[in-house]
Amino acid sequence: MKLGIMQPYFFPYLGHFALIAAVDEWIVFDVTQYTRRSWINRNRVLHAEGNWQYISVSLKNSSSQINIVEAEIVDSRRMEKHVLGKISHYKRHAPYYGPVCEIVRSTFAGLVNDSLVSLNVRGLSTVCNYLGLPFRYRVCSQLGIDRPEKPGAGEWAPWIAAKLGADVYINPIGGRELFKSSDFDKRGVSLWFLDFEPFIYDTPGYTFEKSLSILDVLMWNSPAAIVRALRKNSLLIFASELK
């Protein structure tokens, strides 16, 4: 079983979905400390007047003293309108504006108990369903497994992978410095990295900005074109090949 583990990001960039497409099971990693000004409750889309702007949801309890699983959204209806308002300028040019707005509405409709994690997981699930990507996930805080004591940043993944019986763990290549192959090898898990090349596409009426939220990608590209890009732009590399 190929496993991926990532924090629950808010409408993340396309590379996040490339990782989802590469694994058999996805762990929503919600048991670590919430970080302000991170991708957990914000992302980027095009600005009507050029460059990019943030879309975000406000939290009731945005203290760095809470874990991600504890984060709660303020006034979800207002946040939904805020996000839809931020992307409304796309209507003039983007061919898939309507379906993207429906994805946003469906995501907020799936909110449970104002939980930011539930919102972000719903976002991933809704986008994957639209693209036709299998998305089998579990939430880390609900796994019921024991956890390493005072783990370092690179110690969670081999621990969870072994506990869940994975034989392959795949991580974005940008995080390769966090991990030691030996930590995986001794648990019978192979460590691989996913290198995702930026997807370049036309944005008529705007200047293209790379690595924006998946919402921007969806505005300009059909599901079939996006899935083709996921396959074409993804390269899996065995950890030992990077030495």
**Token pair for 16:** 């996040």
Residue span of the structural domain in which 142 resides: 2-242
Block residue for tokens 């590209």: 221
Q: How many folded domains does the chain comprise?
A: 1
Distance CA 185, CA 158 (A): 9
Please give the DSSP secondary-structure letter assigned to residue 14: H
Distance CA 32, CA 152 (A): 11
Q: What burial letters (b/e) apply to 24-49, b meaning 16+ CB within 10 Å?
A: ebbbbbbbeebeeeebbbbbbbbeee
pTM (2 decimals)? 0.95
pLDDT above 70 (res 243): no
Task: Identify the pLDDT of residue 185.
Answer: 96
- Average pLDDT rounded to a whole number, residues 152-180: 93
pLDDT above 70 (res 39): yes
Percentage of the residues of the chain whose pLDDT score is greater than 70 = 98
Per-residue pLDDT of 57-98, as tens digits, reads 999 987 778 999 999 999 999 999 999 999 999 999 999 999
